[in-house]
Structure formats: structure tokens, C-alpha cells
Copies of this chain bind each other. A is one copy, B any other.
Amino acid sequence: MEFKISKELIQELEQLIQSKNDQQLEVLLNDMHHADIAEILDELDFDEATYIFRVLDSDKTAEILLELEDDLRENILSRLSPKEIAEELDELETNDAADIIAELSQDLKAEVISELQDVEHAKDIVDLLRYQEDTAGGIMHKELVKVNENWNVLTCVKEMRIQAENISRVHSIYVVDDEDRLKGRLSLKDLLTTSSRTAISDVYIRKLNSVKVDTEDVEVARIMQKYDLEAIPVVDELGRLVGRITIDDIVDVIKDEADQDYQLAAGISQDVEADDSIMELTKARLPWLVLALLGGFITVRVLGLFEGAMLEHGNLFFFTPLIAAMAGNVGVQSSAIIVQGLANNTLSGSLFNRLIKEVSLSLLNGVILATILFLGSHFLLNVEIIIGIIVTIALVSVIIIASLIGTFIPLLLDKFGIDPALATGPFITTSNDICGILIYFSIAKLILGF
């Protein structure tokens, strides 16, 4: 059954830490899953967390380290010596170890690497450090099982046993040539049903998906999802097998990508969490707010252009927030659908068809909303008929323009290689505010002639 942190458990731990009862702490925690212990440590203060961290074995703490919130991990690492950090890393898979090293300061990095005990492991980690975080190279593991196409089945099985020892899940056996170039894969079933003197080159499967080290991680995710793969091999520029990505790495990529798009749509430009520091949160939130503020300056200016209407038709100004809000909402809806379509690769058909569709859709929505608005302005808000008519015409026009802006800005950004997710949220609402208000007052001016 699932583990739940209780207040009692936290209190008990805090007491044991205070009385330095290491033995009892070990008894209590040793049976728990490392992910659960990480959750507990996140609830304690830094000193208590570090204390527990020192009490437990490094095979356990290494795994815990991976699960901790960023700031707690940073804090604990800063209290450990390079040698102690290296001991943790020796327990981890290359990829996870490289991720932790990448977070360290430049000086500490070198010291920790020099303290690593397992030379092969250290080499692999250093190798991984040179890849960009968001590429196949950046998320791949070095741990995999590979055999040479020139071996026979017997040699192959022997070698596999040795290699598989360091790997938690085998998934696939890859076949390479003498230059380490990826040639194909072996099915475990075939291997077990073939005579032990058969050459590997006679039994391996030549058809196989692979990605390059510099393939973007979201592209890897797309391929693995599309072809329903549990693992995919990674090759370098020369086609040599250098690593492997498994589906659980991809789960993180998908989650991160979705979180990032969600934040972008909400006007948050860096990957932040509710528990990050106020400075980090400000850095992520302020840029979009400044943009919105500058957009606001323009709306002030635009409204100023129509100051002449104020004396006779003051209540025109009461509708500006309504028009702006509708423009913003419609624009965000349209852009969200396009951004998702682009991300999931489900957009088909020509630009012209999309234009026709978006116009029809917003015409339909616009007419329904305009009817409500017209009736509402008359019966609920008691404005003159002519103002009601102006507002209604403006609403339909604004909805059409806003949905076109919402549809085509993301498509345009995508064409120029910019993340279209940038175009949902503040960017769209701000530009639609400005356009919406301009259209509204232009229509009013045309009809009322002020």
C-alpha cells in the first residue's frame, strides 16, 4: 500500500535526531523506499536532513539524492566533502551521476571527478557531461548490453552475462561491428533457440530505430511514443553506439515539457516551483509582467486617441475591459489549440483551410456571444441601443481578429523555429488587448462620427 507521511513520524524522527539515536533511526528508515525517505527529508530542516543523510548507507543515500527537491540537494551536497560526494556518485548510474555533477560548481566538479573510485564509471560520466541537457546525449545512459556481429552465440551469451550485471533492466541487446557502429539488435528468444556456434551476423535483426546524440529530447520522446518503444539506442556522428535511452527517462522529458508549456502559457518564463525562492520566482515572472505593462501603456495611448468621444459617449469607455477580456480569452483559446496541435504533431491540412475554419468557428462563437451581449446591454446594463449595436458589432469583429492572431502567431513562431508555446498567455492577451480596443473604438468612431 502507499506510503503517507504522518506528523507523528516526523516528530519521532526529530526526537531521534535530537537524542542522536542513530541505531533507532536506521531501524526506522532502512526498510523504507528511497523515494519515501526523500519525501521525509523534504519535510525536515536542512540540519536534520543532513544528519539523517549521514546516518544512512551510501547505496541508499545516493538514490535518495536523486529524489530530493533541488534546494535541499544543493544544501546537502554543500555540506559534504568532494570525497563524500564521489562515494555517492559511485553508487549511481552514469546518467544520474552526470546530472548531479552538472549542478556542482566548476572547481568542485573537477575535485569530485578525481575522487571517483571506478575508473570506467568515471570515464563514462565525464563523457556524458559534454552533451547538452536537452538532447539525446544529455538524457542517455551509458549502461547497455552490446555484442559484436562477428561473435558466435556462445561468446555472446558469456559476454552478455558480464555486461548485464550492472544494468537493472536489459530491454534490448544491441549488435555492433568492430568499429562499434550500431548494426541492429538481437532478440533474447532467438538467442536462446539458436545453436551456440551460429554467428551473430546470421541471427540479428537489422531493422532498428535509433537517435543521434544531438537529437532533441522532445523528438526522442515523440519517436519512442509513436513506435511504442521501451528503449532506443543512441549513436554518435559516425554511427557508433554510445548510449541508450529508456522509457522512464522519457516520462521525465514529457512531464518537464508539459510543465514548461503550461508555465509559458501562464506567463512564467523559467522552470520554477512554488517552493523556489522569491528572487527566482521574480526572475521568472517579472519579464512577462513588464511586457504586459508596456502593452498597457499602448492601450492608454490608444484610448487617449478617442478622448473626444468621452463627453458625449462616456459609457463607450465602460465596455473597454469587456472587449479586451474577450479578445484575450479568445486569443488564448485559439493559440492553445494550435500550440498543442504542433506539439503533438496532429495538425493536418493547408493554412487556407485552417483560416476558413477559424473564421467560421469564431463567427459562430461571436454571433452567440454578441446576441447575449446585445440583450444584456439592453436589459441588464440599460445602455442606449446605438451603443449596444456598436459593442455587438465590435465584439464579433474582435473575436474573429483575436482568433486569427491566436491561430497564426504560434504557426509563424513555429515556422521561424521559435517555441510556439511562447505565444499563449501574456504575449497573446497583450497584443489582443491592444487590437481589440483599437477595433472597438474605430467602429464606434465610424458609426458615431466623433
Contact = CB atoms under 8 A, between A and B. Distances in A.
Interface of A: 2, 33, 35, 42-43, 69, 169, 209, 223, 225-228, 230, 247-248, 250-251, 254-255, 258-259, 261-263, 265-268, 272-275, 278, 281-282, 285-286, 288-290, 292-297, 299-301, 303-304, 307, 310, 314-315, 317-326, 328-330, 332-333, 335-338, 340-341, 344, 346-349, 354, 357, 360-361, 364-365, 368-369, 372-373, 376-377, 380-381, 424-426, 429-430, 433, 437
A263 to B, nearest CB: 6
A332 B381 contact: no
A35 B261 CA distance: 26
Contact of A325 (B228, B281, B329, B433): B433
B265 A248 contact: no
Nearest to A335: B266
A335 B376 CA distance: 30
A292 B361 contact: no
A411 B325 CA distance: 25
Contacts of A326: 289, 292-293, 296
A300 B258 CA distance: 37
Contacts of A338: 274
A354 B281 CA distance: 13
Given A258-B262, A268-B333, A337-B268, A296 B278 contact: no
Contact of A262 (B323, B336, B354): B336
Work out how many copies of this chain go into the complex. 2
Given A251-B250, A282-B361, A310 B314 contact: yes
B325 A274 contact: no
A87 to B, nearest CB: 22
A336 B315 CA distance: 34
Contacts of A336: 262-263, 265-268
A335 to B, nearest CB: 7
A364 B254 CA distance: 33
A258 B424 CA distance: 16
Contacts of A251: 225, 247, 250-251, 254
Given A251-B225, A254-B255, A361-B281, A437 B321 contact: yes
A268 B223 CA distance: 28
Contacts of A300: 318-319, 321-322, 377, 381
Contacts of A209: 2
A262 B263 contact: no
B290 A369 contact: yes
A272 B254 CA distance: 20
A-B complex: 9 closest residue pairs judged by Cβ atoms = A296-B322, A258-B258, A266-B336, A274-B341, A303-B318, A299-B321, A317-B317, A300-B318, A321-B324
